[in-house]
Amino acid sequence: MIIVEKISEVREVVALMNRKNSLIGFVPTMGALHQGHSSLIKKAKFENQLVICSIFVNPTQFNNKNDLQNYPRTPEKDAELLSHSGCDILFMPPVSEIYPDKELLDMDFGHLELEMEGSFRPGHFKGVATVVSRLFEIVKPDRAYFGEKDFQQLAIIREMNRRLETGITIVGCETLREPDGLAMSSRNIHLTAAERNAAGIIYQSLIIAAKQINNEEIVSVRETAIAAIESFYGFKVQYLEFVDSQTLQPIDKWIYHANQRACIAVLTSHTRLIDNVAL
């Protein structure tokens, strides 16, 4: 695996390695990598000849300075996991390389960026869309891989990609979980031991909600799930929304064969956890 920091180096290495017109798969990340990230790399490697991963803790998507400062950074461990997962090029740019100026992508995502994560993290998705569009310009991949774990982010990126007509195929990838169901996340290390022990309740409650929803009203399904999660002292459900998977508009009722999703955010003592399941 080759590690580069400059845009010019990415372009050089891609040009060298891409002589035979091989397909490029791209996995953007913020580092502190785990098996969830590794599954994206492996999928990308299976479907493309060349895999590029970026590690960039993107300042413009953090609306809270402490959160940005405390975001875990484990570059050596990350490089090891990536090379074992089949990554060919690791791009780790400094902030100045991605943001020579402070301009953000001027794209209005309307409802998609305002609800759920958007309402708790104002401006977050503008930052995400900006950095991903910038990385797309640099890497010019054929396919880009994103986790369904960040379901709203995936919807925003699909929309941005469609409007910019990049020609890149966006591939959504299934969420990898710990044995108790907790979605793997770089932020899980901020959980206390007691919170980590209890955190499986989030996914377990979503699964129960997804089953109950075919014969109970959404309001009561939501109340039951929130009560179960908040029964652990210190967990606060910021939202639990039942939405259409494409538009992310709230649904009135569950419909067989419709593509619907339950999305949740839970605040713990030192971090926020998000998750979602298909209904």
The only residue of 185, 260, 268, 271 in contact with ligand AMP, by rule CB under 6 A: 185
DSSP E strands in the chain: the ranges are: 2-4, 24-29, 50-55, 89-91, 143-147, 169-173, 236-244, 260-267, 272-278
CA distances 17 to 54, 80, 89, 124, 141, Å, are 17, 21, 10, 34, 13
Side chain identity at residue 135, one-letter code: L
The only residue of 51, 173, 218, 248 in contact with ligand AMP, by rule CB under 6 A: 173
Best CA proximity match to 1, nearest among 21, 33, 137: 33
The position carrying tokens 């895999």 is 51
| Per annotation, catalytic residue among 34, 37, 124, 190 | 37
268 contributes a contact to ligand AMP by CB under 6 A:
no
DSSP conformation class of 183: B
30 contributes a contact to ligand AMP by CB under 6 A:
yes
Contact 33, 81 (CB under 8 A): yes
Phi, psi of 265 (to 5 degrees): -130, 135
Residues 118-147 that bind ligand AMP (CB under 6 A): 146-147
State which residue, 61 or 222, has the beta carbon closest to ligand AMP: 61
Contact window for ligand AMP (CB under 6 A) among 176-184, 204-212, 215-223, 241-249: 176-184
State which residue, 186 or 268, has the beta carbon closest to ligand AMP: 186
The only residue of 36, 127, 141, 181 in contact with ligand AMP, by rule CB under 6 A: 36
The only residue of 85, 130, 161, 186 in contact with ligand AMP, by rule CB under 6 A: 186
Instruction: Check if 270 is active-site.
Output: no
Contact 94, 13 (CB under 8 A): no
Q: By CB under 6 A, how many residues form the interface with ligand AMP?
A: 17
Q: How far apart are CA 201 and CA 268, in angstroms?
A: 13
29 contributes a contact to ligand AMP by CB under 6 A:
yes
- Least Å distance, CB 175 to ligand AMP, is 4
Which residues contact ligand AMP (rule: CB under 6 A)? 29-30, 36-37, 39-40, 146-147, 149-150, 173, 175-176, 183-186
Enumerate the active-site residues: 37
